[in-house]
Structure 1
Amino acid sequence: MAKSKKYFSNKVQCSDGYKFDSNKEHGFYHDYIKHCGYKFKVHPTINLLPKFAIGGMNMGGMSYTPDFIIYDMGKMKHVYDVKTSVSPKATDSAAKNRFKRFAFENNMPVEVVVPRAHDFKMTILGLTKSFEPQIFTNVDYDIHDYIGQ
């Protein structure tokens, strides 16, 4: 069966050598990441759960690949996942579970971002208290000012 174009669309090749999953992700990189003044990684793979033996077989591990991680003085400042909407319905449950596992392991939430014409909207999924989407024009904010330490 052919894979749906909705989920496996053509990648966007960037002149900087990166390959992005969508035009929105590519635009977010150019508008907010590339010249942000911080060190960053594009599509780093984070191992959340190693492969492990169960009986005489192995159970596969689990990893998460955020779109961008921004670092400030060697520590994670932001972990971004670019989506088409900040609504929880726009993110599948497997991704939400990875976001939670990542946050648990790293004490850092995954920020779901939606690029817009002159800014971006950000939210954090899976919190036990209501978190209203925030609007930013750059990445120079501390997420802990919004969620606490």
Structure 2
Amino acid sequence: MNNSPTALNKRGTKIEKWGEKWDSQKELDFYERFLLGVVKPDNLSIHPHFTLCEKTTVEQGAVINSIKYTPDFVVYDDFKHILHVYDVKNSFGVYGIDQGNKLTFRLFAMKMGVPVEAVVVRKHDFKAACIGVTKQLNLTGKAQTPKPIVKTDPFYNWMEATNYQH
């Protein structure tokens, strides 16, 4: 892992705790407050790696790198089906979720069949919204659709974090 700055941590310094390197204090807070001791350790992956597109060679031998994605957390059920893919963000705005994030989240959902939930950690709860679905929640406050959901634990259906009927 490199030490480049992230959207949540401009200094690029990682926080080491629980045998993991965290990108930000908010990411660590989300883990400690909403996942640790709540989700069984066997049902939680921290910073798992997913290959979304394999490296390929195009015309005249040019090589195109693979596309990989590392979400902050993946929560599974007891049968190892994905329940939630969490990516902790500072906000739902353009500074928290840029166009590159949105494209990566869409590619992940297309490949894995489950959308990424952007999460904004607050003092006593967190807001969640699925990114890249066609019926997205109101992330900017300008649309007529519902706002991101507010939760205190991961025991909900990710469809609640969309504007689809559930």
User: Secondary structure, in 3 states, of the residue corresponding to 2:29?
Assistant: helix
Match of residue 25 from structure 1: 27
2:46 paired with 1:42: yes
Q: CA deviation at 1:82?
A: 0.1
1:78 is aligned, of 61, 84, 89, to 84
Q: CA deviation at 1:117?
A: 0.7
Indicate if the aligned counterparts of 1:86 and 1:121 stay in contact, CA closer than 8 A.
Answer: no
Match of residue 127 from structure 1: 133
Task: Summarize the Cα distance change of 1:140–1:106 in structure 2 as closer, same or farther, 3 Å threshold.
Answer: same
Indicate if the aligned counterparts of 1:86 and 1:122 stay in contact, CA closer than 8 A.
Answer: no
Distance 1:122 1:47 in 2: 24
User: Secondary structure, in 3 states, of the residue corresponding to 1:124?
Assistant: strand
Task: Summarize the Cα distance change of 1:52–1:68 in structure 2 as closer, same or farther, 3 Å threshold.
Answer: same
Distance 1:88 1:148 in 2: 26
Q: CA deviation at 1:94?
A: 1.1
Q: CA deviation at 1:8?
A: 5.1
Match of residue 97 from structure 2: 91
Number of matched residues?
146
Distance 2:160 2:30 in 1: 22
Distance 2:136 2:152 in 1: 22
Indicate if the aligned counterparts of 2:69 and 2:104 stay in contact, CA closer than 8 A.
Answer: yes
Residue identity opposite 2:121 in structure 1: P
Indicate if the aligned counterparts of 2:71 and 2:86 stay in contact, CA closer than 8 A.
Answer: yes
Gaps of 5+ in 2: 138-146
2:57 paired with 1:53: yes
- Deviation beyond 6 Å, 4+ runs, structure 1: none
Gaps of 5+ in 1: none
2:110 paired with 1:107: no
User: Secondary structure, in 3 states, of the residue corresponding to 2:101?
Assistant: helix
Task: Summarize the Cα distance change of 1:130–1:50 in structure 2 as closer, same or farther, 3 Å threshold.
Answer: closer
